[in-house]
Amino acid sequence: MIAEIGHLSLIIALSLSLIQGTLPLIGAWKVNVPLMSMSRSAAAGQFIFISLALACLMYCYVTSDFSVKNVFENSHSAKPLIYKFTAVWGNHEGSMVLWVWILAFYGIAIAGLGTNLPPSLRARVLAIQGLIGMGFLVFLIATSNPFLRLDPAPLNGRDLNPLLQDPGLAFHPPLLYFGYVGLSVAFSFAVAALIEGKIDPAWARWVRPWTLLSWSALTAGIILGSWWAYYELGWGGFWFWDPVENASFMPWLMATALLHSAIVAEKRDALKNWTVLLAILGFSLSLMGTFLVRSGMLTSVHSFAADPARGVFILGFLIIVIGGALSLYAWRAPNMKASGRFRPISREGALVINNLLLVTGCASVLIGTLYPLVLDAISGTKVSVGPPFFESSFVWIMAPLILLAAAGPLMSWKRADVLGVGQRLIVAFGIAALTAILLVALKGGPWGAILGLTIATWLIAGVATEFSERIKLFRVSFLSSLQRAKFLPRSALGMSFAHAGLAILIAGAVGATNWQIENVQVMKIGESVSVAGYDFTLSNVTTSDGPNYTRQRGEVLIKKGGKIVDTLYPEKRKYWVQGTDTTEAAIRTTWLADIYVAIGDPSPGGGLAVRIYYNPLVPWIWLGALIMVIGGIISLTDRKYRIGAPKRSTQQSISDPIESHSNQ
């Protein structure tokens, strides 16, 4: 009964999306107010009915209703309750329901919060959202219906893949989708602006908060996935340049470029066509990611079960949506009112280079990911493009960007004094150079890693420089500086946080990749091994049962200088229903490094295979990303997004960059 209600709700939502997608467009064209405001009620209705559908699906899972095929395939009565919930989105059909739910959420948010948007623009934006929702709902109902029944109903289910029965992976999809799907808002704004025929600074101001929200969620979602891979897969890796990972990374890069470009569009009324294009491309990459993951074209540990019918549908949808938007762009963009001007050497210029590098980086990931498919299609040759390719190309494209990121915020609009900026960054340069020297002395190499850490230090020193200039640190009383810090515009504070977080993340990634110490060997109970200055003793191995698995648990004592520092309990679990194993590594995290221990197979000669890793700076990856997300959220709370129409400020406010003091 509940499943049928869910099914019906999806169908009602589909009809509402049809209304939402067509009538408001006509209304905006004919300037018919009732038709335009229909968009808001349709958006609200869509959200209500899809929420209902999602709730019904959750109900079926939580009550273990195995007559519903989707529940049968992905759940089991012995599964812990939280994973019954999260199994809803741990499979293709359920995750599509989550997709459209988040799409509807953004729709109702625009309807509710966008009261200061011109009615025609809001109607058009909601209409585009409606059309996208319509496409996905048709896909959902036609090819991926989670409410199909099984007759006769089985007694129990096939259980969720044990790898997915994990808190980290439970929250990874919703966050990721808030990111991916959130880019649809920027897309809708872009298409709506193209239809309207104008892009003014106000448009950029409206696009930015939505992009900030999706960017923050996407950052959090990607890092959560990365963190999960790190502690779950058993050998300390956190990023594999897997096609599905790349599919989430490319929209992130575009969203970052969009955030920066929108600043120029808003403040300087420039780069408008470019910003619109970025908004279209960002969501296009989200859609392409969805396609790659669900079509079966890629072999990846992440991909959902393949079904060519689904692949064809999504590809068709992709061609209509992206092809349509890009054609609209090609038609309308050349006629857009021209942009403001600026000198190449200016903050705008720096942001242009930022965008150029981000887009090139995104292109390198795109080429690397699609190349095997394209080559196979054209010539039947199969190649593998793995981490070595991406590390040689992407990383080097990003290096100049990070260098620039320290200087950019110090440059002024319209025309910047490079020498002045250079002078102000002398201290930052000194710190970076010192770091390089220290690293060479302490570690000796590899030189790529030392370069990476130096660049990260340069960035964070640059952020500190800009921040201290803004609050006039050491130039006025300390209390006065604190006051200034408190009243800094949130977007500036957010920027500092985000850039600082990025520097920390880079430092973490460089350290973790280059200076990991690995030790794999067979150990008998009582034996010890010395790794990275610590002594590891396997003191005990026990076997016991969990809720739906049997576990083998090792007890590993960590000693330093004879004293016990910690005890770790790595596990190996065998899940009963699916019969697969998982490794639950035990990790000891300190500010500077992780000690990571995993146990493996018993060796025929007695003893257990034990993997011990010393991972320096890994915690900084998660810390840095968290700071970036906080920065995004801080920026979101800027006052200007709460006040109505943007006001033009006539005096120089604190948000303008500090003019160099060495200028006359």
Find the binding residues for other proteins in span 585-624 (CB under 8 A): 598, 600-601, 603, 609-611
Indicate the residue type of 214.
S
Q: Which string of x and - marks every residue 530-569 that binds other proteins (by CB under 8 A)?
A: ----------------------------------------
Residues 366-385 that bind other proteins (CB under 8 A): 367-368, 370-371, 373-385
Q: Which is nearer to other proteins, 377 or 482 (CB)?
A: 377
CB of 107 to other proteins, least distance (A): 26
**Exactly one of 22, 51, 64, 360 binds other proteins (CB under 8 A); which one?**
360
Which residues face 588 on adjacent strands? 595
Nearest-CA neighbor of 538 among 519, 516, 514, 511? 519
Is residue 309 at the binding interface for other proteins, with CB under 8 A as the rule? no
Minimum CB separation from other proteins for residue 318, in Å?
Answer: 7
Number of residues that bind other proteins (CB under 8 A): 85
Site for other proteins in 60-119 (CB under 8 A): none
- 295 is a contact residue toward other proteins (CB under 8 A): yes
CB closer to other proteins out of 41 and 392: 392
Would you say 88 or 128 has its CB closer to other proteins? 128
One residue of 2, 326, 399, 451 binding other proteins per CB under 8 A: 326
Expressed in angstroms, the distance from the first to the final Cα of the chain is: 77
CA distances from 471 to 329, 486, 488 (A): 42, 9, 8
Q: Which of 415, 654, 345, 398 is nearest to 510 (CA)?
A: 398
- Alpha helices by DSSP H, listed for 425-518, are 426-442, 447-470, 478-486, 490-514
User: Considering only residues 456-485, where is the footprint of other proteins by CB under 8 A?
Assistant: none
Q: CB nearer to other proteins: give 562 or 604.
A: 604
Peptide bond into 251 cis (omega under 30): no
403 by Cβ neighbours in 10 Å (0-12 / 13-18 / 19+) ranks as middle
Q: Which of 29, 85, 171, 235 binds other proteins (CB under 8 A)?
A: 235
The three-state secondary structure class of 643 is coil
Residue with tokens 């790794």: 531
User: How far is 392 from 653, CA to CA, in rounded Å?
Assistant: 43
* Helix, strand, coil percent values for the chain (each to nearest 5): 65, 10, 25
From 8-16, 22-30, 47-55, 516-524, give the range in contact with other proteins by CB under 8 A. Answer: 516-524
Nearer to other proteins, 67 or 514 (CB): 514
- Binding of other proteins at residue 18 (CB under 8 A)? no
From 396, 414, 624, 607, select the one nearest 509 (Cα to Cα). Answer: 624
SS3 annotation, 6-30? HHHHHHHHHHHHHHHHHHHHHHHHH
Of 385-414, which residues contact other proteins (CB under 8 A)? 385-389, 392-393, 397
Q: Which of 118, 311, 489, 646 binds other proteins (CB under 8 A)?
A: 311
Residue 340: other Cβ atoms inside 10 A:
15
Q: Please return the burial class of 590, using the count of CB atoms within 10 Å of its CB with bins 0-12, 13-18 and 19+.
A: exposed
Tell me the closest approach of the beta carbon of residue 245 to other proteins, in angstroms.
10
Q: Which of residues 253-282 bind other proteins (CB under 8 A)?
A: 277
The piece of 9-17, 356-364, 463-471, 641-649 that touches other proteins (CB under 8 A) is: 356-364
Cα 541 to Cα 557: distance, rounded to the nearest angstrom: 12
Question: Looking at 86-94, 198-206, 319-327, 492-500, which segment touches other proteins (CB under 8 A)?
Answer: 319-327
Question: Which one of residues 117, 199, 297, 421 is an interface residue with other proteins (CB under 8 A)?
Answer: 297
Q: How many Å apart are CA 452 and CA 87, to the nearest integer?
A: 39
For 352, phi then psi, to 5°, come to: -65, -45
Rounded to whole angstroms, the maximal C-alpha distance in the chain is 85
Question: Measured from the CB atom, is 9 or 248 closer to other proteins?
Answer: 248
At its nearest, how many Å lie between other proteins and the CB of residue 184? 18
**Distance between CA 493 and CA 486 in Å, rounded?**
10
Q: Which of 5, 62, 363, 404 binds other proteins (CB under 8 A)?
A: 363
CB of 364 to other proteins, least distance (A): 4
Binding other proteins (rule: CB under 8 A), the pick from 141, 399, 522, 529 is 522
Helix (H, G, I), strand (E, B) or coil at 565: strand
Using the contact rule CB under 8 A, the part of the chain among 92-100, 292-300, 426-434, 445-453 near other proteins is 292-300
Q: Which of 170-179 are b and which e, b meaning 16 or more Cβ less than 10 Å from the residue's Cβ? A: bbbbbbbbbb
| Member of 33, 426, 437, 520 binding other proteins (CB under 8 A) | 520
Name the minimum Å distance from CB 246 to other proteins. 11
Given the complex with other proteins, which of 489 and 600 has the nearer CB atom? 600
From its phi and psi, is residue 209 left (phi > 0), alpha (psi between -120 and 50) or beta? alpha
**Count of Cβ atoms closer than 10 Å to residue 517 Cβ:** 14
How many C-beta atoms lie closer than 10 Å to residue 187's C-beta?
27
- Contact with other proteins (CB under 8 A) among 562, 579, 606, 644: 579
Candidates 88-96, 200-208, 296-304, 612-620 — which segment interacts with other proteins by CB under 8 A?
296-304
Instruction: Choose which of 240, 596, 613, 614 interacts with other proteins (CB under 8 A).
Output: 240
Select from 127-135, 193-201, 299-307, 417-425 the region that touches other proteins (CB under 8 A).
299-307
Among 5, 55, 78, 315, binds other proteins (CB under 8 A): 315
d(CA 536, CA 529): 5
CB 48 within 8 A of CB 17: no
Residue nearer to other proteins on the CB measure, 184 or 491: 184
Binding residue for other proteins, selected from 112, 323, 430, 547, defined by CB under 8 A: 323
Min dist. Cβ of residue 174 to other proteins (A): 24
Q: Of 572, 593, 592, whose CA–CA distance to 581 is shortest?
A: 572
CB of 356 to other proteins, least distance (A): 5
